[in-house]
Chain A
Amino acid sequence: MNSIRFQVHLAEEAIVQYANRIEAPLQRIGGALIAPSTMPITFWKIADVPWLDIPKPLIHGKQQFHYEAPLTAGMDLDCDLSLTKVEKKNGRQGVLFVYTHSLTCTCAGKRIVTVETVLISVGDK
């Protein structure tokens, strides 16, 4: 299995907590609180993803967010996360594996954000 589907209810309190942690100003559009652009990265965890159940630590290589519309408090999001590519590379610390993921979040059938996350396994000597 290289994809999972899950739902997220985006509560205003969760936005406030995340914004406070990354020191983001609170912003509103049409009265609704906007989630910081990087917040979708909190929608899933490595432990939730079966293909990342590996004994090596993972670090970020690249990260990208593209919004069709602001992500706002109160949205019920349908999220699809998939592993799109696995590459084996030789790095300064030895062999690395590069895992590329795509996450799409839609609300009532409308795409809100597309996220690409590239994680790299480290620690191989």
Chain B
Amino acid sequence: MMRKQITAAAIREYADLTGDQALIHLQDEAARQAGYPAPIAHGMYLMGLAQSIYLAEHPTHWIQSYSMKFHQPLIRGTMACFGYETCNDEIQVTITAEDEDGEVITKGIFSVKEGVCSP
């Protein structure tokens, strides 16, 4: 299990790089109007982090397929917990919020191949 706090700065930096400047990620009022207590992390930021954490531990793997379903938004400032489980040659990843509810934020699955190298 890997833990990472999803900060406002990280969300802003992801928005700047990718161009996804939707206000629900960046502004308190826009998030409230959409029904959230505070801005939410980009789902694709979490999906990217999930693959990165795995590859850091498995640097010769290449991800051939990867799917994820987003169940709940992750509110800015929340500690996200990344859990991995290997099942039938696939890796299942679950991101949960480390708060009083401990809700599942996303669940995903990916398959990998060997054969790449990390510099």
- Which residues of A line the B interface, CB within 8 A? 17-19, 21-29, 34, 36-38, 41-42, 45-47, 57-67, 70, 93, 122-123, 125
CB-CB nearest in chain A for B61: A27
- Please give, as numbers and ranges, the residues of chain B lying within 8 Å of A65 by CB-CB distance: 63, 65-67
Q: Given A62-B67, A62-B69, A123-B35, 18 other A-B contacts at CB below 8 A?
A: A23-B52, A24-B48, A27-B62, A28-B116, A28-B119, A29-B116, A37-B63, A38-B44, A41-B44, A57-B34, A59-B43, A59-B73, A63-B43, A64-B67, A67-B64, A70-B116, A93-B35, A125-B35
CB-CB nearest in chain A for B19: A45
- What count of chain B residues pass the 8 Å CB interface test? 43
Q: A29-B117, A58-B22, A59-B24 are in contact. Are A122 and B66 (CB under 8 A)?
A: no
Majority secondary structure of chain B interface residues (helix, strand, loop or mixed): mixed
Interface contact A23-B119, CB-CB below 8 Å: no
- Please give, as numbers and ranges, the residues of chain B lying within 8 Å of A26 by CB-CB distance: 118-119
CB-CB nearest in chain A for B64: A67
Interface contact B117-A60, CB-CB below 8 Å: no
Interface contact B67-A42, CB-CB below 8 Å: no
Alpha-carbon distance between A58 and B20 when the two chains are bound, in angstroms: 11
Q: A26-B119, A27-B116, A45-B20 are in contact. Are A36 and B52 (CB under 8 A)?
A: yes
Interface contact B62-A29, CB-CB below 8 Å: yes
Interface contact A122-B34, CB-CB below 8 Å: yes
Interface residues in B6-53 (C-beta closer than 8 Å to A): 13-14, 17-20, 22-24, 30, 33-35, 40, 42-45, 47-49, 51-53
- Please give, as numbers and ranges, the residues of chain B lying within 8 Å of A42 by CB-CB distance: 17-19
Alpha-carbon distance between A58 and B21 when the two chains are bound, in angstroms: 11
